[in-house]
Structure 1
Amino acid sequence: MESGQVFADFIYEYFLKCFQFQRYRCGDVLPSINTCCKKFNVADQTVKSALKQLRKEGYISVQQGRPARVIFQQTEEQSNRYIRQFFSERWNVFSDLCQTIEVVFQPLLIESFRRFDESDYDILSPFAEQANIENIIHFYCFVLQKMKNPLILNLFWECLLFLGFPYISDRTLEYYSAEIAQKRLQDIIRTAKTGEWQRLDEFLSAFWREFVAAASNSIEPYLLPIPADRQITFVWRIYRGRPQICYNLATRIMYEIYLGRYRGQQFLPSYEKLAEEYRVSVNTVRRTIRLLTQLRVTLPISGKGIRISSLGDSTEQPDLTVPAIVRNLALFFQSFELLLYSCENVVRSTLSSLDQEEKSKMISQLKDYLDAENCELAPWCILISAAMRAPLQGFREIYANIYGLALWGYPLKASQGKYPAVDDKAVWLTESLVKYLAADDIESCTAAFKEFVSIALPSIEKYLNLFGIEHAELQMSPSARKYYQTISMTDV
């Protein structure tokens, strides 16, 4: 995470929900500012800003030289009502998202354990010995930090926040057993140390399913009858605050330029028409088009309009002095690592769910890519299919965002032309998908896609390095790594 008002708002919302869930009750002392800085990886001024807002609204008292204390009062009935409402509004997708977490993160956890050394286990073990809810979350986050991929941790945290797990206390989960959780986590650590990866996979599945079952059994009896139109759907907030709108709009416009209704056109509609179409302000459209111009996707021409750089057009190099562009290119790289370790189950389940007509359409589309020598679109074809037709809503949300981030990488390639390391493999992937889909060989399709991503990932990193985007910019910040590597039980 970063410092700033956006993250002060996040910390404010986090503590507010903790109060409403009675994780912190009236009279409880909040963690110190130093501990909060480590917990959220932000500057002390960011934490102070959040605490100032909580104090202003009467939730906490803050006295010079003393830790903040909760003064918010609510009855047990009021808290229970809030908790019931929170889970009732999410219940339609609760099971879906829990299944998504297991499928997406289990391969990432195993890969993270592969990167462990003995000192990592020394830090991890205390979380297993005191297996309360908060320590279980720290257990998972510490393991996943070995990937050094902030996007992966962002997704994990957003999933947990949606489910409400960081807010609930052990007393909320009636069927949860810290003793059983302790044994399960110790089994996981012991198995990871011996490198029994198949067995580790089984232990991770068993623990997660037991935990989810305990949560479901505790929550379900208290659910309220919430109509379907009032149910909340999981949304992966990669960006927080105002950038979310601008970056998402940029992604949507790029999709329409490359594959949608603007494809083949020379100019975009006016700012006013775009604002009306996407239901945003004209100023938001102007900021977005400015960013797309710096990315070399568009070019406003006085008196004519906004010229489009379409698929296959040669362009100038994106302006890599713009932090937003570098940030999104880093996320593009990070999304491919997430894709590499999650694609096997997601792509398999997606392609297996397609009927014969849908498979035939995909084959026809892939053949068109071969004929037009646009094989770089074949991976996009799979991502779009997963975003639209994957059996779990969580899969669809995650893969829609991975595809959106992939769009940010295209203009850099368009400025340089061919990149054989990836282009040749894309041709092979396209031919393989046509062959295996026609034979209804889903396993081979899945294996081919994963092989392509495994080749593309290091190639993308090398490509970004050529343009001055260093390895350190593509990974978790040193301050975040330091936090996860030094966290101890006294910090929790």
Structure 2
Amino acid sequence: MKKDNDLQNMIYQMLLTQIELGVYHYHDKLPFIKEMSQYLHVSVETVRAAYNKLKKEQYITISKNVGSHVIVNYTQEEVDHHIQVFFAARKDALLDLSQSMKYLFNHAQLMSLKKASPQLLDELELLIKNRNIKISYRAIQFFLELYQLLESDVMVRLIWQIFLFFQIPFLDILKDIPLLEEKGLLLIETIHLSRQKQWDKLQSIIDQSYDWMYLSISEFYEHKIQIQLDQSHYFTWNIYKKNEQKCYSVGLELIQDIQKGYYLEGTYLPSLAELSKEKKVSLSTIRRTITLLNKLGAVQSINGVGTLILSHSESSDHCDFTQHIIHHRLSDFVQSLYICTLTCQNIIKVTFKHLPDEQMNQFVSLLVQLKKNNHCELSAYATIEYIMHYSPYQSIHTIYSHLFQQFLWGYPLHKSDNERLLSIKDTDELLIYLNQQNFSQFAKKVENILTDDLRAAYLDLKQLGIVLPI
């Protein structure tokens, strides 16, 4: 149950917010626990824990016979104040996220709909038309069902957290019924176009739906939210559950330190006590981290001597590919690479179009330097790192920062000599497109490189007996 603590806390916070914003009033009945678990695609136990926390804090009652009911009685004035404070604190984040989603998910949504079976399309249409379910719950269930077709639990977790942060509270308090109907009609039209396989028109409708969301929330802030706050809430996302984050985050930091030459191959890491102090974590966290890096093949602990940093070429031989924890981390690497292939093209175009000349010249110099140092295989990943730093949208920066970190788990996988030769040609093409300011072709080329790397990683892991669903 501990591993679901972060999920139950997010669901608890979502329900508490709905009560405070007047979505559920005094004596209103919440969905049954089983229903809520189906809406949110989480376990019944996780939802029950969130409900029990609300009960303990005297927001609701729970009865086996009659279900769960709200017992706090906010006045309309209090509800209005809650709405003002909640959305004022999230103004920058929600406007930024609503703009980012078009670049992040329009292609991924198209790919999901292409994979949808006729039966699933029928089920999704019935779901959207079911007025017995709140529109926010219909929306999250619709998209979770859809994005599961991409077979990436990392993508599903991202969608889940975005909905809890953004769409659920916004759709819940939006009183403009015609706008909500328009949103529902757009979703139904995507289903009809999917049945007809009119993919170009479908992509246009998907883009319209994201434009609709941005315009709707912009108008909402212009006409409904009157206050301003000094403190702001920003969208955050982490691939890992809270109880896993420290060990994996420190592991990624150490691999990055090794790759940047802060710790040199063939030398020894500082002692556990020194690392604990340097990384500001407990000794037990450092021990678990070093154990993980041993299994990954990045280091080798030698009794009575210390922790030897292995060369990149040695990591494959020392990586224990039989360990489930290594399977999971390699899965994180492959899934993150997969998400980048689905999302990077539009994001690269919008980022590089807004890139100042100074940063553009620095990036061109970086590609030239990678070629000079015989590291052309890193050109596409350097592009992703640039997005991480220079995207015009904070939400994309947040999401791509986490995706980029996961690439480090691919440490034991290496390119062949033939692949390295091809990467020289790829880098030359990238430089040509940049000099021409042909960002569309540049973005397409980066996507193709990442797709080839994804395919190669999948085949490498398959040969090792690790079969991933992607």
**TM-score normalised by L of structure 2:** 0.89
Residue aligning to 2:385: 384
Residue aligning to 1:121: 121
Q: What is the letter of the counterpart of residue 446 of structure 1?
A: A
Distance (whole Å) between structure 2 residues aligned to residue 94 and residue 10 of structure 1: 17
Change (3 A) 1:182 1:159: closer
Distance (whole Å) between structure 2 residues aligned to residue 72 and residue 234 of structure 1: 28
Q: For residues 350-369 of structure 1, what are the structure 2 equivalents within 5 Å?
A: 350-369=351-370
Distance (whole Å) between structure 2 residues aligned to residue 437 and residue 260 of structure 1: 29
Distance (whole Å) between structure 1 residues aligned to residue 172 and residue 164 of structure 2: 16
Pairwise CA RMSD: 2.8
* Residue-by-residue CA offset, 1:431-472 (whole Å, 9 max, x unaligned): 32233334443333222211112222222222222222223x
Distance (whole Å) between structure 2 residues aligned to residue 207 and residue 303 of structure 1: 61
Distance (whole Å) between structure 1 residues aligned to residue 141 and residue 43 of structure 2: 20
Change (3 A) 1:199 1:151: same
Change (3 A) 1:184 1:328: same
Change (3 A) 1:65 1:425: farther
Change (3 A) 1:121 1:260: same
Change (3 A) 1:7 1:211: closer
Change (3 A) 1:325 1:89: farther
Q: For residues 285-364 of structure 1, what are the structure 2 equivalents within 5 Å?
A: 285-364=286-365
Whether 1:13 aligns to 2:16 is no
The answer to whether the Cα contact below 8 Å between 1:130 and 1:182 also exists between their aligned partners in 2 is no
Residue aligning to 1:463: 460
Change (3 A) 1:46 1:158: closer
Distance (whole Å) between structure 1 residues aligned to residue 295 and residue 174 of structure 2: 50
Q: What is the letter of the counterpart of residue 180 of structure 2?
A: A
Alpha-carbon offset, residue 304 of structure 1? 4.3
Change (3 A) 1:281 1:74: farther
Pick from 138, 142, 145 the counterpart of residue 141 of structure 2.
138
Change (3 A) 1:156 1:44: closer
Which has the higher mean CA deviation after the structures are superposed, 274-283 or 285-294? 274-283
* Residue-by-residue CA offset, 1:371-393 (whole Å, 9 max, x unaligned): 43333322221111111112221
Distance (whole Å) between structure 2 residues aligned to residue 454 and residue 178 of structure 1: 37
The answer to whether the Cα contact below 8 Å between 1:173 and 1:218 also exists between their aligned partners in 2 is no
Distance (whole Å) between structure 2 residues aligned to residue 210 and residue 440 of structure 1: 30
* Residue-by-residue CA offset, 1:297-346 (whole Å, 9 max, x unaligned): 23344454433235455453433444433222112111222111211111
Distance (whole Å) between structure 2 residues aligned to residue 3 and residue 302 of structure 1: 33
Alignment gaps of 5+ in structure 1? 476-492
| DSSP 3-state at the match of 2:58 | coil
| DSSP 3-state at the match of 2:168 | coil
Provide the aligned length of Structure 1 versus Structure 2. Answer: 466
The answer to whether the Cα contact below 8 Å between 1:125 and 1:189 also exists between their aligned partners in 2 is yes
Q: For residues 18-37 of structure 1, what are the structure 2 equivalents within 5 Å?
A: 18-37=18-37
Q: What is the letter of the counterpart of residue 137 of structure 1?
A: I
Whether 1:207 aligns to 2:209 is yes
Residue aligning to 1:92: 92
Pick from 445, 449, 457 the counterpart of residue 448 of structure 1.
445
Residue aligning to 2:427: 430
Distance (whole Å) between structure 2 residues aligned to residue 40 and residue 185 of structure 1: 19
| DSSP 3-state at the match of 1:391 | coil
Q: What is the letter of the counterpart of residue 149 of structure 2?
A: K
Change (3 A) 1:45 1:109: closer
Residue aligning to 2:281: 280
Distance (whole Å) between structure 2 residues aligned to residue 44 and residue 134 of structure 1: 16
Distance (whole Å) between structure 1 residues aligned to residue 397 and residue 186 of structure 2: 30
The answer to whether the Cα contact below 8 Å between 1:337 and 1:457 also exists between their aligned partners in 2 is yes
Q: What is the letter of the counterpart of residue 86 of structure 1?
A: F
Residue aligning to 2:185: 183
Residue aligning to 1:222: 225
Distance (whole Å) between structure 2 residues aligned to residue 81 and residue 297 of structure 1: 53
The answer to whether the Cα contact below 8 Å between 1:335 and 1:402 also exists between their aligned partners in 2 is yes
Change (3 A) 1:275 1:162: farther
* Residue-by-residue CA offset, 1:7-40 (whole Å, 9 max, x unaligned): 3333333322222233233322232232233334
| DSSP 3-state at the match of 2:67 | coil
Distance (whole Å) between structure 2 residues aligned to residue 461 and residue 78 of structure 1: 54
Which has the higher mean CA deviation after the structures are superposed, 38-47 or 292-301? 38-47
The answer to whether the Cα contact below 8 Å between 2:91 and 2:221 also exists between their aligned partners in 1 is no
Whether 1:39 aligns to 2:39 is yes
Alpha-carbon offset, residue 109 of structure 1? 0.9
The answer to whether the Cα contact below 8 Å between 1:175 and 1:218 also exists between their aligned partners in 2 is no
Distance (whole Å) between structure 2 residues aligned to residue 232 and residue 263 of structure 1: 39
**TM-score normalised by L of structure 1:** 0.85
| DSSP 3-state at the match of 1:8 | helix
Change (3 A) 1:92 1:352: same
Distance (whole Å) between structure 2 residues aligned to residue 244 and residue 367 of structure 1: 36
Distance (whole Å) between structure 2 residues aligned to residue 440 and residue 188 of structure 1: 34
Which has the higher mean CA deviation after the structures are superposed, 11-20 or 298-307? 298-307
Distance (whole Å) between structure 1 residues aligned to residue 442 and residue 353 of structure 2: 10
Distance (whole Å) between structure 2 residues aligned to residue 173 and residue 248 of structure 1: 42
Distance (whole Å) between structure 2 residues aligned to residue 48 and residue 391 of structure 1: 40
